[in-house]
């Protein structure tokens, strides 16, 4: 049987009420939400379960909320006995993957991403940075465009290489606008501005990365018990020192998601299970390689369905 990878979503997958039904039915799931409340000295659980959406969507809240929900769902799913050979997460999701791999405790992970969210929101004055999704243009011509625009004095760079034909650019507001115009001239089908609070995964995030380094230096990190595919290299890592370095780089470097998935496939992964709210990564997976099996687990019903499907595969 092919190997299994657990993958964890990043910002954009959050929704008011995520994890609520599972937590109300299973006290051990609720325990994660209560632990997050205690660690952060705030009622994060109320915000996750009841909203308001505008507050949940703030980066400083979204990041710990998604990590908490995804790990709570993972804990429930693991009771089925299904284990991963590799783990990976998209941007913020990489921290969830590290908790899943035993490199970070849940509490340390929740605290780290809360601080990460703060630093990311404050790194660039509001309105000066932006991001946009470019659809239908390959990375080589888009990279050439962002280099040209940056050299003209308006920084912009590739931020998320999500799947063939979907790349997010990030940088100064003017840089993103200019690169978007040039991308359309070069044949891009669409350029969609993203509703984000800053130019994430661009060199403009380097001030936030320095602040994050201080937090991570004070964080107890273990070697990962399951190989983690790093966003910045698309290679498996497990040593605690390398994990810290890659998390800092991740803040101002592109998320190589398509490359990460392809790497796991070359390592023998044939089944990808997205664990957490939404189906964003499952959708990307189908655009990267239609031959792999892709499942998503976001509640009890989907968890049981995935377990049944995997049992049938073994028979």
The answer to whether residues 119 and 229 belong to one domain is: yes
The CATH number that applies at residue 287 is 3.40.366.10
Domain count for the chain, please give it: 2
Examine the domain organization and report whether 188 and 306 are in the same domain: no
Higher pLDDT, 195 or 39: 39
Is position 90 annotated as part of the catalytic site? no
* Mean pLDDT across 38-67: 97
CA distance 113 to 174: 29
Percent of the chain whose predicted confidence (pLDDT) is above 90: 96
Question: Do 92 and 209 fall into the same domain?
Answer: yes
Dihedral angle computed from the Cα positions of residues 15, 111, 245 and 171, in that order, rounded to the nearest 10 degrees: 50
133 in the same domain as 223: no
Q: Name the catalytic one among 13, 45, 70, 91.
A: 91
Q: pLDDT tens across 149-161, in order?
A: 999 999 999 999 9
User: How do residues 220-259 score in pLDDT, each as one tens digit?
Assistant: 999 999 999 999 999 999 999 999 999 999 999 999 999 9
Residues shown for the chain: 315
Phi/psi of residue 158, each to 5°? Answer: -70, 135
The pLDDT confidence band at residue 315, using thresholds 50, 70 and 90, is low
Domain enclosing residue 189, as ranges: 129-196
Contacts of 171 (CB under 8 A, 6+ apart): 129, 130, 146, 150, 154, 155, 156, 157, 179, 199, 202, 203, 204
Phi and psi (nearest 5°) for 207? -60, -40
> Is the same domain home to 151 and 278?
no
Residue where a domain stops, chosen among 174, 196, 218: 196
Pick the last residue of a domain from 196, 222, 241.
196
- 8 A C-beta contact, residue 43 and residue 37: yes
Please tell me which residue in 172, 201, 253, 298 is annotated as part of the active site. Answer: 201
Same domain, yes or no: 113 and 231: yes
Looking up residue 178, the CATH number of its domain turns out to be 3.30.70.250
Both 140 and 261 in a single domain?
no
Q: Same domain for 102 and 214?
A: yes
Gap between the Cα atoms of 167 and 136, Å rounded: 9
* 75 C-beta neighbours (distance < 10 Å), count: 18
Same domain, 271 and 244: yes
Give CA–CA dist 183/200, Å, rounded: 20
- Give the residue ranges of DSSP H helices in 59-198: 59-78, 93-100, 106-122, 139-151, 173-185
Instruction: Give the model confidence (pLDDT) of 108-126 as tens digits.
Output: 999 999 999 999 999 998 8
pLDDT at residue 309, rounded to an integer? 94
| Residues 184, 152 within the same domain | yes
Do 179 and 253 lie in one domain? The reply is: no
């Amino acid at each position: 049987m092919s190997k299994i990878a657990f993958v964890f979503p990043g910002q954009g997958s959050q929704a008011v009420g995520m994890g609520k039904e599972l937590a109300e039915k299973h006290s051990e799931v609720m325990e994660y939400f209560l632990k997050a409340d205690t660690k952060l000295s705030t009622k994060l659980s109320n915000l996750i379960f009841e909203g308001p959406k505008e507050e949940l969507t703030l980066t400083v809240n979204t990041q710990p909320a998604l990590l908490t929900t995804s790990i709570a769902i993972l804990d429930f799913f693991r009771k089925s006995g299904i284990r991963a050979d590799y783990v990976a997460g998209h941007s913020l999701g990489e921290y969830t993957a590290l908790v899943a791999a035993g490199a970070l405790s849940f509490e340390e992970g929740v605290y780290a991403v809360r601080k990460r969210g703060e630093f990311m929101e404050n790194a660039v004055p509001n309105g000066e940075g932006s991001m946009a999704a470019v659809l239908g243009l390959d990375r080589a011509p888009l990279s050439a465009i962002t280099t040209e625009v940056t050299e003209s004095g308006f920084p912009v760079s590739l931020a998320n290489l999500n799947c063939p034909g979907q790349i997010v650019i990030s940088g100064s507001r003017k840089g993103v606008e200019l690169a978007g115009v040039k991308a359309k001239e070069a044949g891009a089908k669409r350029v969609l501005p993203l509703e984000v609070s800053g130019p994430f995964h661009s060199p403009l995030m380097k001030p936030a990365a320095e602040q994050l380094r201080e937090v991570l230096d004070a964080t107890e990190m273990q070697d990962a018990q399951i190989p983690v595919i790093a966003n910045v290299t698309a290679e498996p890592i497990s040593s605690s020192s390398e994990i810290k370095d890659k998390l800092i780089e991740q803040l101002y470097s592109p998320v190589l998601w398509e490359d990460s998935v392809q790497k796991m496939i070359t390592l023998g992964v044939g089944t990808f299970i997205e664990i957490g709210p939404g189906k964003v990564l499952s959708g990307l997976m189908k655009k990267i390689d239609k031959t792999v099996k892709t499942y998503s687990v976001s509640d009890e019903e989907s968890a049981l369905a995935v377990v049944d499907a995997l049992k049938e595969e073994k028979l």
